[in-house]
């Protein structure tokens, strides 16, 4: 049995792993799907003060209070920002990092530095126009590859605004031990032009220090390709 913690991306919540978590549990793994502050069922805590540090502490606190060790940490999209900082603070509790179509920051980088400039500029403009300057409304579900009617009906009422500060805060990485953790990058290939992660995927594809995989799906693969995502998560454990 392996302990697996699934970290959702921006605008989502722990609910987005609903299709993947049962598959992992059926395979005998212990699975956690925390929701970050201000999102999902914790949306009532959304405020201008929520930062990347807030979300990092959400996960570090869960690892500590559940006393989890030898954990496989999975981060989707913005969750890669959170996961990278969690690993820096709690490397001794982790065994593998899996970036599911997720950002992989270096020290001093924020998501704003890594995202496609046009896409990110649109997010900030949307926050100014519709979110009082600090709440970022979600992009259309189609951008994440969600087109099935049932998935749209399920997701639409659950997707919520995201705090802008989390996109603007840079990570601070100082723990050499964290850089030694085994890492996997899963790139979802069926996405629109201007994909922020395409340059990263191109670089990591040839980096032998990473385990690199591709998935023929849209960005929200945990919704549209749950069986394939579950298989990729357990692959390094076999």
pLDDT tens, N- to C-terminus, the chain (238 residues): 899 999 999 999 999 999 999 999 999 999 999 999 999 999 999 999 999 999 999 999 999 999 999 999 999 999 999 999 999 999 999 999 999 999 999 999 999 999 999 999 999 999 999 999 999 999 999 999 999 999 999 999 999 999 999 999 999 999 999 999 999 999 999 998 779 999 999 999 999 999 999 999 999 999 999 999 999 999 987 7
- What structural domains does the chain harbor? 3-237 (3.40.50.1820)
H/E element holding 22?
Answer: helix 21-26
State the catalytic residues. Answer: 77
66: its two tokens: 């559940």
Neighbours of 221 (CB within 10 A): 24
Cβ within 8 Å of residue 138, ≥6 positions away: 10, 11, 159, 160, 161, 162
Bridge partners of residue 184, in order along the sequence: 98, 211
Phi, psi torsion values for 102, nearest 5 degrees: -120, 155
Is 145 within 8 Å of 224 (Cβ atoms)? Answer: yes
Say how many CA atoms lie within 13 Å of 216 toward its Cβ.
0
Neighbours of 148 (CB within 10 A): 13
Q: What is d(CA 227, CA 119) in angstroms, rounded to the nearest whole number?
A: 29
Rg (the chain; Cα; Å): 16
């Amino acid at each position: 049995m392996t302990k697996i913690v699934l970290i959702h991306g921006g605008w989502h919540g722990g609910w987005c792993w609903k299709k993947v978590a049962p598959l992992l549990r059926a395979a005998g793994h212990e699975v956690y799907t925390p929701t970050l502050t201000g999102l999902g069922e914790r949306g009532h805590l959304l405020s201008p003060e929520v930062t990347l540090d807030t979300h990092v502490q959400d996960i570090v606190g869960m690892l500590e209070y559940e006393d989890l060790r030898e954990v496989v940490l999975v981060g989707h999209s913005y969750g890669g920002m959170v996961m990278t900082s969690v690993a820096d603070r709690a490397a001794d509790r982790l065994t593998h990092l899996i970036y599911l179509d997720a950002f992989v920051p270096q020290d001093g980088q924020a998501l704003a530095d890594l995202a496609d400039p046009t896409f990110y500029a649109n997010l900030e403009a949307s926050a100014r126009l519709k979110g009082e300057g600090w709440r970022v409304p979600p992009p259309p579900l189609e951008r994440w590859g969600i087109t099935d009617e049932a998935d749209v009906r399920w997701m639409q009422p659950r997707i919520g605004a995201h705090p802008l500060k989390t996109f603007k805060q840079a990570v601070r990485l100082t723990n050499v031990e964290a850089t030694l953790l085994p890492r996997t990058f899963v790139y979802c290939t069926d996405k629109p032009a201007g994909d922020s992660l395409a340059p990263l995927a191109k670089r990591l594809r040839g980096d032998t220090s990473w385990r690199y995989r591709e998935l023929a799906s849209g960005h929200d693969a945990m919704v549209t390709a749950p069986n394939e995502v579950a298989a990729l998560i357990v692959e390094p454990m076999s």
